[in-house]
Structure 1
């Protein structure tokens, strides 16, 4: 879907922009450029948190995933499936329904079920292209019926989503009250994310003697960015 936006500036607005700036305006402009001056809504009460299902992530984030906000977790070297699976399992445990947007079709239902994910409380969306990905994610967030929406972009070869796209998704999450968890290979969301974390270490767990078997992944996280209003 292609939409063009046209902005028209009337004469009054043009005259206002052309008029001399009031004393001290240079300081305000400098603060704006440094992003020190925040919008009033950024100073609101902190968003309520929910557990991610991963203790290390909850510690690094300062208490879990904020509802009504976008959280980006940068996963450069594996572990995305573990993060998504545990988050969906935790969501089901608190009575929430989850949605997974999976453009790379990397989700394995059998493995997820083995992790304890309740597949009856999961909607799996496999968008065929970028437009369907964005619109589908927006619709999921707009419904307000999904406590958790996971957007799995790890390993996506296409170009990153635009800043406008991230801003729209963050706004839809805020309006619908959902946790929007974006998994990426490199940081993309920037200022649109209330919280950005990076996986700093991945260690595979093995159990048993003789012929040990794989028993999951241990992950460590570091905070990259925490927006105002996120304690």
Structure 2
């Protein structure tokens, strides 16, 4: 799971980054709103941890923009603002959860896992969606209980799409994060791997968004 951590406190940010990385999460840490937004435009993430008191503005401003342009992206606020009205403002502004500083890292990890389950059906090991299951520790994939053998590239494409179920993943992102050679690979490797993946898992899973990328819908269309 790829997490964008937006936190200006050096000690806290570094502690959270290390703790999440130790749990196998991919963490990108930024300390300003502007840097966070630049990161989001360059590479999608699966979940945002958002501080509110940032050097270049209030995190609620960034939250509002996230909801306008990345509507379903899960956001967990981390803030020292502990008044009831602050928490209500954060949740009413579109945050999925709110954790008051200081907090125990164990509680943060628990809340991240709970948010991932609600958003993606992800329990830390198993991704499950409409009968399609991907078990990360063993890299096993099954459709309606039947095992499916995938290559490394096919597995990584499916994992990325399932982690972001309901959201379009661009061709560029898939090429950069999964395939050697990066964007514009002259051999059209992405098209070949995607065709093989679809053949193996069956119809009705991966939908093409013409000119943009691919998506696995959370519900049958």
Tell me the TM-score normalized by structure 2: 0.33
Please tell me whether Structure 1 or Structure 2 has the larger radius of gyration of its CA atoms: 1
Structure number having the greater helix percentage: 2
Q: Normalized against structure 1, the TM-score is what?
A: 0.32
Higher relative contact order (CA 8 A, sep 6+): 1
